[in-house]
Amino acid sequence: MSETFVPAFPDRDRPLVSYGLPFVQSLPRHVDHLFHASRIYVISSRSLAANTTYLDGLKEALGGKLAGVRIGMKPHSHWSEILEVVAEAKRHDADLLVTLGAGSLTDAAKIISFALANDVSTHEGLSGLLPESPQKRDNIKPATVPIVCIPTSLSGGEYSSFAGGTDDRTGQKHIFAGEALKPPALVILDPELTTTTPDKVWLSTGIKAVDHCVETLCSLGSDDLADAAARDGLTKLIPGLLKTKQNPKDLEARLETQLGAKDAMAACSRGVPLGASRAVDGIGHQLGPAGVSHGETSCILNPAVCKYNYKKGANVERQDAIAQLLWDEPQARAIFSQRGLNKETADLGDLVDAIVRALDLPRTLKEFGIGEDKLDGIAERSLRNRWVQSNPAGLDKDGVLEILKMVLG
């Protein structure tokens, strides 16, 4: 078995991506030859630590270079926990951070490295690193402690140079961004590790990646490089998700899906103005407090946003091109035929809806106990979001309400 070790994106040096070897083999190699690290701090998923031997294998692989371990962090990366790890990593003089798990750990690690570089130890200190903060510091230093991510979901945050963290004193989630906040240096893909991920998490975060591809290809401000990456992502993600739904132990399909998520991030990280369903922002961002995860918001909203924009005539040719791409994919075409869809009458929203339903993922707000009485507030808050403002078809409050009512259930 050989390793593939290349830049994740063709136009950027970082992050690098490694696949082809189990992570317990590839990580020590890069610890020595790429990072020359000797004091490694690991942040691990609680479920992986409790229910599998993967963390034990990681500890054994690192040996005496393991400086410390944090097991478990709350979803949405709470600042108080981030500061706990900052203090621990500082005490150990950590020269490498490694995450073993899904998205919240990745975001936390990026903020931790950023905080270490700026000698931050308080909530007020973290606030001073925010790009929109009135107390923003003038002398912000770039993150220097590198990060290795070993992801277990398809959320894609390991490829980005921004991070979300929640100030648990106020309950508000903030985005850390800017040139000083560095993306992870290395992403190690290990499809066998992802078999520990619950199917619902794996598949729904995969639809989040599909959402990124569709939104890019639907955008009226996209470019050729973004479009190419999004098409590549879709042609990996759709068959990969359907195959892993059918056989969760299909490691080849899992790796194909992981590479599709990488392509999705290559597409949406080029600054293309995206639409209203984007799971991390848009209308979907307002569903989080109601208990809808990022991946699930894409399952619910993407088909409806596609239909809304198509009906308004905003991006008809671009949507038709995506629909043709999906019809050309054999696994997807089989799903469409099973559900009685016709190529001449089914639009892109119908096709995405069919794929989401084939994966047994949620399609309505009702499934989360969200009734019509909540829609007005969700719509009002959504209007302040930049992705709602950049939707291909102009959106006012009535338009957002129209989309929400389509998925009420």
Q: Is the pLDDT assigned to residue 279 strictly greater than 50? A: no
Mean pLDDT of 68-96: 95
- Two structure tokens written together for 29: 């190699």
**Ramachandran assignment for 340, one of left (phi > 0), alpha (psi -120 to 50 degrees), beta (any other):** left
Confidence class of residue 272 from pLDDT cuts 50, 70 and 90? low
What is the pLDDT at residue 278? Answer: 47
Q: Can you read off the two tokens belonging to residue 13? A: 């040096």
What's the pLDDT at 385?
63
Average pLDDT of span 96-102:
95
Kind of pairing between the strands at 40-44 and 96-101: parallel
Mean pLDDT, all residues of the chain: 91
Q: How confident is the model at residue 190 (pLDDT cuts 50, 70, 90)?
A: very high
Q: Which CATH architecture has domain 4-189?
A: 3-Layer(aba) Sandwich (3.40)
The one-letter amino acid code at 105 reads L
| Closest C-alpha among 236, 215, 237, 241 to residue 227 | 215
Q: What is d(CA 369, CA 102) in angstroms, rounded to the nearest whole number?
A: 26
Residue 254 above 70 pLDDT? yes
Domain 198-406 has CATH 2.50.20.10: no
Q: What CA–CA distance (Å, rounded) separates 277 from 307?
A: 12
Sequence-distant (6+) residues with CB within 8 A of 246 are none
For residues 271-281, average pLDDT: 53
Per residue in 361-375, pLDDT (tens digit) is 999 999 988 999 888
- Which region, left, alpha or beta, applies to residue 228 given φ > 0 means left and ψ of -120 to 50 means alpha? alpha
Residue 344 has pLDDT above 60, yes or no: yes
271 CB neighbour count, 10 Å cutoff: 9
Looking at residue 280, its pLDDT comes to 39
pLDDT, tens digit, for every residue of 208-229?
999 999 989 988 888 899 999 9
- Return the pLDDT at 387: 63
Query: What does the alpha-carbon distance between residue 82 and residue 409 come to, in Å, rounded to a whole number?
Result: 38
Tokens 């690290």 identify what position? 37
- Is the model's pLDDT at 277 over the cut of 80? no
| Number of C-beta neighbours around residue 130 at 10 A | 18
The burial of 175, by beta-carbon neighbours within 10 Å (0-12 exposed, 13-18 middle, 19 or more buried), is given as: middle
Mean pLDDT of 117-124: 96
Structural domain spans, the chain: 4-189, 198-406
Give the range among 40-49, 112-121, 156-165 with minimum mean pLDDT: 156-165
Work out the pLDDT band at 273, boundaries 50, 70, 90. low
d(CA 313, CA 310): 5
pTM: 0.92
The predicted model gives 245-262 an average pLDDT of 98
Task: Work out the angle at residue 36's Cα, subtended by the Cα atoms of residues 34 and 37, and round it to the nearest 5 degrees.
Answer: 115
Q: How many CB atoms lie within 10 A of CB 122?
A: 12
With a pLDDT cut of 90, the percent of the chain lying above it is 70
Q: Could you report the per-residue pLDDT of 168-179, keeping only the tens digit for each? A: 888 777 889 888
Higher pLDDT, 180 or 279: 180
d(CA 281, CA 386): 8
How far are the Cα atoms of 213, 239, 398 from residue 334, in angstroms, in the given order? 21, 11, 36
18-43 pLDDT, tens digit per residue, is 999 999 999 999 999 999 999 999 99
